[in-house]
Amino acid sequence: MSTKQNQKFEVATQLTKLGRDPAEQFGFVNAPLYKGSTVIYKTMDDLEHRRSRFTYGTAGTPTIANLEDAWTQLSGAAGTVLAPSGLGAVVLALLSTTKAGDHILMPDSVYRPTRNFCNGMLARYGVHTTYYDPMMGAKIEGLVQPETSTIFLEAPGSQTLEVQDVPAIVAVARKHGVKTIIDNTWATPVFFKAHEHGVDLSVEAGTKYLGGHSDILLGLVSANAESWPALRATYDSMAMLPGADDCVLALRGMRTLHLRLKEAERRGLEMAQWLQARPEVSRVLHPAFESCPGHENWKRDFKGASGLFSIILKPGYGQQDLAKMLDGMSIFGMGFSWGGYESLIIPFDCGQYRTVTSWKPEGLALRLQIGLEDVEDLKQDLEQGFARLGSA
């Protein structure tokens, strides 16, 4: 089905059609899995002129192309490239917009591995990073320098869930000829169309909601027409592509992405509201809550909320109390990911590494990923955990 034909449908229908063509697959519903390195050419002339849709395994396979094409259509982009992880996608995007001597702007709330890449490898290659308050909006113009090539956004922010004013920052970037990149993993293109809001490159950790089952590592970068050639050239020069099996699992995950996101939204909101009423909880950090920084931006620009949010406990609890709570959880696991079917909970303290904004919450902070377990069971697990917290 052509892009134009597919775009007339709602997103739930689109997701069932993207990245497959039964007419070219002997009638089978799903596309076959292609694995390989070598591509055979019919003639020497074809070989010398690289006359083939796929020239070598590092240039992609039909399986990889199916996922790239599907994501391009879903995100409304000019093209998509893949990476073996979400961080790999961030790296590809940044390398396609920067060169030695450039300056970039990075939100202080950014995913910590992205910060580490900027402070480490990018710095070694002569790219200077300035961190900015994610809530400064159009005031970011005061930080733009003649050498600024890129403004990076992450909405909502990692762990603390601030929702940036994307249109305002994009307007500043366009005024100064600066590229914009957004980490859109929390919302995915289902809940936030980054390119429709003027963002040049959109990064997604397909490890999370696209995969949906905690069994793959995958990154995706989509680009608008202006930024697509540089992104593709960067990708081709590195051959940093994922395995075909992971692409097949991602395509399978795409079919239920909308259903799982809507269910994650419903469950996440119910759990967040329940936690807000708990005596142990001081406040909830959730973009759909009016108290969350940038809530008005979320309400204006986003079509939904996923199942990841954070809470701040009331003062008085210590690390030993928290360990007693978390070590005894029956359903919630402790792990550094989200977007899968299982519920997760981790403590965090981003005050250790943020450099521009102050993170001094009134109590200990926890990030929760709400999975597909029964909500009442999840409440009971947390209730028992809070009892251990209080008894300690």
pLDDT in tens, 84-128: 999 999 999 999 999 999 999 999 999 999 999 999 999 999 999
> Is 176's pLDDT higher than 90?
yes
Tell whether omega for the bond before 113 is within 30 degrees of 0, i.e. cis: no
Q: Do 258-391 and 3-255 fall under one CATH topology?
A: no
Which residue's entry shows tokens 């990889």? 64
Q: What pTM was computed for the model?
A: 0.93
Sheet holding 281-285, edge to edge: 281-285, 308-313, 365-369, 344-348
Burial of 376 (0-12, 13-18, 19+ CB in 10 A): exposed
Query: Is the predicted pLDDT of residue 312 greater than 70, yes or no?
Result: yes
**Token pair in block for residue 367:** 């990030």
Residues 6+ apart with CB under 8 A from 298: 156, 163, 287, 288, 292, 305
CA separation for the pair 218, 247 (Å, rounded): 8
Residue type, 205: A
How is domain 3-255 classified at the CATH fold level? Aspartate Aminotransferase; domain 2 (3.40.640)
- Provide the CATH topology of domain 258-391: Aspartate Aminotransferase, domain 1 (3.90.1150)
d(Cα 179, Cα 173) in Å, to the nearest integer?
A: 6
What is d(CA 304, CA 191) in angstroms, rounded to the nearest whole number? 5
pLDDT tops 60 at residue 247 = yes
Domain boundaries, the chain: 3-255, 258-391
Q: Quick one: average pLDDT of 2-21? A: 73
